[in-house]
Structure 1
Amino acid sequence: MRAAIYFTPPAGSALAKTAATWLGRNPFDGEPTRKPDKTRDPLVASPARYGFHATIVAPFRLIEPSHLEAIDERLAEFCAAQTPFEITMSVPRKLGEFFALVPAEPSVPLRTLEDAAVRAFAPFRPKPTEDEIARRRPERLSERQRAYLQEWGYPYVFEEFRFHMTLSGALSKSEAKALLPDLQETFAPFDGERLAIDQLAIFLEAEPGAAFKVHSVHRFEAA
């Protein structure tokens, strides 16, 4: 079993519903959100498995299933101490080979939130195995990213953190060109709009390769 701490908008929000329909799966209940689409589904299979989210603490193995309760309690405490804030959305944007929702400008509160969460949940994360490191293809990472991978189990933390909510898998140039018009039309209502960062969720992968599903959601409660 693996757990991850993600930001995701409320299940009933327009953005969450639109993204779930785009990806074909709702991570809150694990149910399909539309009929299969043989053209789109292969291009969104990876983000559909993880569910619409932004990574705050990347997936990590649970040494014991009973640790989930302690992680849940710690996240409730962590979120109770956080103050909600907003970002301006920019969507869709190309990040390397995939499309995502990203902030329109740098956000200090986002960086601060990620930094604090990575450190707060480090005690729950076991050291990565050689296989886990190899899957991250360390030969393609920078020296700092490789060091973060060894120390924190994920290369994109702290200075390397980039908030993004993935909307496609890795695409060829022709696939990206074909998908972009539909993606732009679907998410046009959200481009330039404000997004509240006011909750975090635990997503669970019950077994290797299984789809991630929301286990619990905790709202920010500080004034």
Structure 2
Amino acid sequence: MAPRYAVYLAPAPDSALWQFGSRVLGYDAVTGEDLPPLDLAGFDASSWHDLTAEPRQYGFHGTLKPPFRLAPGVSEADAIAAFTALAGQYHAFELPPLEVKGIGSFIALVPSAPTPVLNDLAGELVAQLDHLRAPLTVAEIAKRNPDRLSERQVRLLEQYGYPYVMEEFRFHMTLSGALEADAAIHVQNTLADAFAASGAHLPLMVEDLALFRQEAPGARFHQFARAPLHPL
């Protein structure tokens, strides 16, 4: 199958936030290296490795345009050019401090205040880059369990290839896989303590966007290109 691409908000590789998130997941999506886990109370390396298996495949990030295959006739160079040009049309901005929260069955970093600028940017990336995206296959549609989606989410899935975009978008940076309810609170508290100690909780200046690539199904995503936003 063809590679998949995604537009992510990914902190600078030398930032405390990137280092924290990558260590939590055990994978640096810039270097491609496996990383030793953080020393987290109540977890050994093996159990934590299992808890982060799913998000490790994607690397530490916040999704802006979800993963997609290139449409027929669209080259990788076309995708990079369109991504870079669109990013340059939007100004850099500050993201509110992040906090560790539970989202459904997993734990993630989420903004501590509303982010209308980020939400608008994500919507524009989804819509304006949609010409790059190949239509979903039957299997890809089935994977989204359309019977469990709202009517609006089904329409978004059909239009943009993903149900949680536009007004359904909720920015987050995933830190764990799905958890049982009794484990989720412990994981959340443990990660909140580690995050507070990491120095990564300060407001984040978003000055560029990242394009990630997955070579084949089951492979890990890696950072492929970055594009600057318009300077303030």
Give the TM-score of the pair, scaled to structure 2.
0.90
How far residue 177 of structure 1 moved from its aligned partner, in angstroms, is 3.3
**Counterparts of 1:32 and 1:157, CA distance in 2:** 31
Aligned to 2:24: 22
Aligned to 1:195: 204
Aligned to 1:75: 83
Aligned to 2:68: 60
How far residue 2 of structure 1 moved from its aligned partner, in angstroms, is 0.5
Report if aligned partners of 2:4, 2:213 keep a CA contact under 8 Å in 1.
yes
How far residue 133 of structure 1 moved from its aligned partner, in angstroms, is 0.7
The equivalences for 1:30-109 within 5 A come to: 30-34=32-36, 37-63=45-71, 67-109=75-117
Aligned letter for 2:229?
F
* CA gap 1:33/1:64 in 2 versus in 1, 3 angstroms: farther
Aligned to 2:12: 10
* CA gap 1:106/1:69 in 2 versus in 1, 3 angstroms: same
How far residue 164 of structure 1 moved from its aligned partner, in angstroms, is 0.5
Aligned letter for 2:226?
V
Do structure 1's residue 211 and structure 2's residue 220 form an aligned pair? yes
- The runs of at least 4 consecutive aligned structure 1 residues that moved more than 6 Å come to none
**Counterparts of 2:188 and 2:101, CA distance in 1:** 10
Do structure 1's residue 160 and structure 2's residue 162 form an aligned pair? no
Aligned length: 223
Share of identical aligned residues, percent?
A: 35
Report if aligned partners of 2:6, 2:65 keep a CA contact under 8 Å in 1.
yes
**Counterparts of 2:123 and 2:52, CA distance in 1:** 29
Report if aligned partners of 2:210, 2:226 keep a CA contact under 8 Å in 1.
yes
**Counterparts of 2:108 and 2:117, CA distance in 1:** 20
Report if aligned partners of 2:72, 2:134 keep a CA contact under 8 Å in 1.
no
**Counterparts of 2:66 and 2:180, CA distance in 1:** 26
Greater shift, 96-105 or 85-94, is seen at 85-94
Structure 2 unaligned residues grouped into runs of 5+? 38-43
What are the Cα deviations for residues 140-199 of structure 1, in whole angstroms up to 9, with x where unaligned? 111000010011100011100111000111100232134233312211145863112221
* CA gap 1:91/1:46 in 2 versus in 1, 3 angstroms: same
